[in-house]
């Protein structure tokens, strides 16, 4: 049964849509045995009183953004981030922007080697992202943040770190990885999503039950981000439909948001941040 919060978030800043027959990337770590369409997602939002959604480019389908872009054209209450080749031209980016794309997704997790963002091709792409007032949506292990954030910040592009900025369990919140995140936020062009706390460890993948260690880390990280970053640098996302963790429900994500951010006023300010960031 769906449960609507008394004060549901206005924007869900992290979800995925796909069909089961979309072409997989060579690097795909799995193929979902189901589809989750734009219409499916909008029904979920409506059932829980959430008005707007942001679709994150899903890494397992590589540069196949076609289905998502088609959905953005049809549904103006949606925005999206795309997986793209750095060599993409400005005119294609402008067409994507007209369709509702607001950023590029960099899926850097589980890579043997990170991109060199100081090379000509990457510098050109990041400058175009900044010129369009888009953002770079980054998925990366927290311990590696110091290797990536300085170059992204130097580009002038806005930066969004998903899933609590993936704090490292071994390093903790006082380790260099998370401290680099806090420094980046303080410089004014970095935001963090409170989303998918269950992904902060790999222990619960496929079990249907979130790992308690991951959820404890998410709670601690939320508290630290609220106190040191503030609601103007935070976003909330569900990560619906929870690929690889299908035992999670949308109701769970709303309940966790209330636990991470106990103040209704603070939750509303986070919603206002998301409205300004994605829809203004």
Residue 108 has pLDDT above 70, yes or no: yes
Mean pLDDT of the chain: 94
Q: Are 221 and 164 in contact (CB under 8 A)?
A: yes
The rounded distance, in Å, linking the Cα atoms of 271 and 81 is: 19
Q: What is the pLDDT of residues 72-98, one digit of tens each?
A: 999 999 999 999 999 999 999 999 999
Pairing status of strand 11-15 against strand 52-56: parallel
Which residue has tokens 């936020």? Answer: 185
Q: What is the residue-wise DSSP string for 184-253?
A: HHHTTSEEEEEE-GGGSSSTTTTTSS--HHHHHHHHHHHHHHHHHT-GGGEEEE--BT-TT-TT--HHHH
Cβ partners under 8 Å of residue 275, min gap 6: 10, 11, 52
Task: Tell whether the model's pLDDT for residue 3 goes beyond 70.
Answer: no
Q: Which residues contact 188 (CB under 8 A, 6 or more apart)?
A: none
List all residues 6 or more positions away from 37 whose beta carbon is below 8 Å from its beta carbon: 17, 18, 19, 71
CB 237 within 8 A of CB 162: yes
Q: Where are the domains of the chain?
A: 11-279
Checking if the pLDDT of 137 tops 60, the result is: yes
> CA 95 → CA 7, 43, 90, 132, distances in Å?
35, 27, 9, 11
- Residue 143 is predicted with a pLDDT of 96
At residue 25's C-alpha, the angle toward residues 249 and 143, to 5°, is: 65
Neighbours of 118 (CB within 10 A): 11
pLDDT digits (tens, 9 = 90+) for 196-229: 999 999 765 655 678 999 999 999 999 999 999 9
Token pair of 194 as six digits? 């409170």
We find that the CATH architecture of domain 11-279 is Alpha-Beta Barrel (3.20)
- Per-residue pLDDT, 205: 60
* Cα gap 170→76, rounded to integer Å: 42
| Largest interatomic CA distance in the chain | 52
């Amino acid at each position: 049964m769906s449960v609507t919060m008394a004060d549901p978030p206005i924007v869900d800043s992290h979800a995925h849509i796909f069909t089961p027959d979309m072409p997989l990337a060579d690097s795909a770590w799995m193929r979902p045995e189901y589809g989750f369409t734009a219409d499916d997602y909008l029904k979920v939002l409506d059932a829980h009183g959430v008005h707007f959604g942001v679709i994150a480019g899903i890494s397992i389908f590589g540069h196949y953004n076609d289905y998502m872009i088609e959905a953005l054209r049809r549904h103006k209450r949606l925005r999206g981030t795309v997986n793209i080749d750095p060599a993409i031209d400005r005119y294609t980016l402008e067409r994507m922007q007209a369709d509702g794309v607001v950023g590029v997704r960099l899926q850097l997790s589980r890579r043997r080697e990170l991109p060199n963002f100081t090379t000509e091709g990457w510098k050109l792409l990041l400058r175009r992202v900044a010129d369009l007032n888009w953002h770079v949506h980054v998925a990366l292990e927290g311990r590696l943040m110091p290797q990536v954030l300085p170059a992204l910040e130097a580009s002038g592009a806005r930066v969004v770190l998903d899933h609590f900025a993936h704090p490292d369990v071994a390093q903790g919140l006082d380790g260099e990885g998370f401290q680099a995140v806090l420094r980046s936020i303080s410089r004014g062009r970095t935001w963090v999503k409170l989303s998918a706390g269950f992904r902060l460890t790999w222990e619960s993948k496929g079990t249907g039950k979130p790992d308690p260690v991951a959820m404890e880390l998410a709670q601690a990280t939320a508290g630290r981000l609220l106190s040191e970053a503030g609601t103007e640098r935070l976003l909330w996302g569900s990560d619906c439909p929870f690929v690889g963790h299908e035992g999670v429900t949308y109701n769970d994500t709303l309940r966790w948001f209330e636990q991470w951010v106990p103040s209704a006023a603070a939750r509303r300010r986070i919603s206002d941040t998301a409205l300004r960031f994605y829809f203004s």
